[in-house]
Structure 1
């Protein structure tokens, strides 16, 4: 198995990114919440494919992938939002609304993330402040199951570090407190901050509490 260094994806990679992300999410939640039907899963992947096709051309997003050099398949990917103000982000959002017709998420049972997201947004405000502190924001990081534990995710998470350090800007993300990814982030210099946001899984066919926490990697001083 030969894997590439981090490279930029192409639009044709959107279906693979959608599948990798959705399988990753589903695998993480398989023992915690009620599973979706095959039809619901297919609808989610179709929706995510359209989202990636748009996001890959977004001027404020930066994507990197690790590619299997033998098959050409995407092994792992990451998305970062560039460090811009909320005003600039909103300006670009409004411009893209004029260029792209709306795409609605598929109908289906409400998930715990639908209800947790407002709490996560409040946590981000508490950590990053108002107006928001400039930061590189990690939106998604996912690895195809057959390529896990090959070091791909660590290479991707470090993608903006050199530029962030040079410009004196922090890298920020939030993730499942009890998920496997949090160890990866901490190994690569991220520190947990704040108390996070929690929600009971019982209303979604699961058990226990899901907690999302914020992590920051502060810029390193240039020598």
Structure 2
């Protein structure tokens, strides 16, 4: 199989991105929430497809993909939010909530959705790391790779996509991730540094196991050589 370098997706890639992200979410949540019914899965796929159709043309979003040049499939993708103020990002978030279909709820075996507890903590962590008023930053939203294309360097190529522009504008790149997830070492190899202790939720009350900890990582801009 032959993979492309990072390229920009087209609007017709929205269904492929939706399926890839849905599979990635299911893999991450397999020990935390009960499996989706067929109806729930279909609703989630509709939501994600609509989200990508909107985001791929949004001025504040930037996507890159790596494509299998033999099959045309999307092997991996990444989404970044461009550097905007916190106020502008909140305005876009509110606009999104009005224009997208309802978000499908993911119920855990113990009842409820652990993300309802985790997300406000992640927002507070980002604010603590980046300050108030928040310094401008590239924000990594989603990174997903089809399992059959993993360990081929696609994620590392994608994570570096905004670096040249960020360095030119002296802007940091920021992301948050599972402390014990497989991606954290890749982020660190590409210049991201963990900041603070992160935020945690107990998965036991949601029918899962142990403690889930999310950490923030930041890549400071590198001075451009002259």
TM-score, with structure 2 as normaliser: 0.91
Q: Which runs of 5+ in 2 are unaligned?
A: none
Distance 1:111 1:93 in 2: 20
| Matching residue of 1:123 | 125
| Matching residue of 2:59 | 59
The offset of 1:146, in angstroms, is 1.1
Q: Are the structure 2 counterparts of residues 217 and 108 from structure 1 closer, same or farther at C-alpha, using a change threshold of 3 Å?
A: closer
Higher mean alpha-carbon deviation, 173-182 vs 36-45, is at 36-45
What is the aligned counterpart of 2:102 among 97, 101, 104? Answer: 104
SS at structure 1 position matched to 2:24: helix
Distance 1:51 1:188 in 2: 28
- Deviation string, structure 1 residues 21-41 (Cα, Å, up to 9, x no partner): 121121122234432223222
For residues 1-223 of structure 1, what are the structure 2 equivalents within 5 Å? 1-92=1-92, 96=95, 101-107=99-105, 109=107, 110-223=112-225
Distance 1:64 1:72 in 2: 15
Distance 1:13 1:53 in 2: 9
Distance 1:18 1:157 in 2: 19
Distance 1:62 1:184 in 2: 21
Aligned length: 221
Distance 1:106 1:36 in 2: 10
Cα contact 2:68–2:74 (8 A) shared by 1: yes
Distance 2:191 2:134 in 1: 22
Q: Which runs of 5+ in 1 are unaligned?
A: none
Q: Are the structure 2 counterparts of residues 212 and 97 from structure 1 closer, same or farther at C-alpha, using a change threshold of 3 Å?
A: closer
Question: Aligned Cα RMSD in Å?
Answer: 1.8
SS at structure 1 position matched to 2:138: strand
Cα contact 1:33–1:207 (8 A) shared by 2: no
Distance 1:53 1:122 in 2: 29
The offset of 1:166, in angstroms, is 1.3
TM-score, with structure 1 as normaliser: 0.93
